[in-house]
Amino acid sequence: MKRAKVRIYVEHPLGEGQSVTLARDQARYLFSVMRLAVGDLVAVFNGSDGEWEAEIATAGKRDGILKCRVQSAAQRNPPDLWLLFAPIKKARTDFIVEKAAEMGAARIMPVRTEFTAAERIRRDRLQVHAIEAARQCGGTSVPRVEEMSALTRILEAWPEDRRLMFCDETLAGKGAALSGAPGPWAILIGPEGGFSAAERRMIDAMPQSVTVSLGPRVLRADTAAVAAMTVWQASLGDWK
């Protein structure tokens, strides 16, 4: 029996014997692009039921049905980690979302800061990007991408029990190493223009905040995001 070589994301419950109706673009991808046919196997995941090996039961030009056979990977959720960052350029924002999915963030929160032009984001497009990254990296969960909100508004309502790992690029080399306990955390990546004095005071005053150094060089926001998630995952997350 051939193993599934193609992996797709579906918005459909998965379980033994479950039939999954394909959307038009999925049918086109599987049958026209990947040239799969009835009887071939496909790996499917939906972000909550693990990964399933599914057999192609019917295959049309614009539709098709998969039948789940066996679970090929148990559902594995990443630690309860949020990533907050200020979107600047579209390509770098896409990159940060992709990296957050690979690195196992649970929630991606674009934030508006005082020194970042209020560039608009398209949440739906970024969510698709996160799904695609999860599909490629073999993840069974997909981080949720939120709408952009003002940083100050998010911090005003910050959960009491969630620590905030604060990575400020203007502090390059001056912060401390990460310390703290596992549990709910968030990472806040500073915008390339830095934070305003008011934002900084607000963050410093939060008992949940922990300022962390990412070395002596000033990192771009996208590099800082990967580096910060690495530091967190390696010491408090699921890399141990």
The correct pick among 4, 142, 231, 236 for binding its own copies (CB under 8 A) is: 231
Terminal-to-terminal C-alpha distance of the chain: 35
Would you count residue 215 as binding its own copies (CB under 8 A)?
yes
- Judged by CB under 8 A, the stretch of 8-16, 60-68, 155-163, 230-238 that binds its own copies is 230-238
Binding string, residues 168-197; x marks residues near its own copies by CB under 8 A: ----x----x--------------------
Mark out the alpha helices in 67-117 (DSSP H runs).
90-103
**Residue 61 CA: distances (Å) to CA of 6, 12, 21, 39, 227:** 18, 20, 13, 16, 44
Angle at the Cα of 180 from the Cα atoms of 134 and 97, rounded to 5 degrees: 20
Q: Closest distance between its own copies and the C-beta of residue 5, in Å?
A: 13
Please work out the total of residues on this chain that contact its own copies, with binding judged by CB under 8 A.
31
Q: Closest distance between its own copies and the C-beta of residue 22, in Å?
A: 25
Residues 6+ apart with CB under 8 A from 32: 61
Residues 6+ apart with CB under 8 A from 5: none
Angle at the Cα of 2 from the Cα atoms of 58 and 15, rounded to 5 degrees: 55
Would you count residue 87 as binding its own copies (CB under 8 A)?
no
The correct pick among 18, 149, 152, 213 for binding its own copies (CB under 8 A) is: 213
Would you count residue 204 as binding its own copies (CB under 8 A)?
no
Would you count residue 205 as binding its own copies (CB under 8 A)?
no
Binding site residues, its own copies, CB under 8 A: 76, 98-99, 102-104, 136-139, 172, 177, 213-220, 223, 226-227, 230-231, 233-234, 237-240
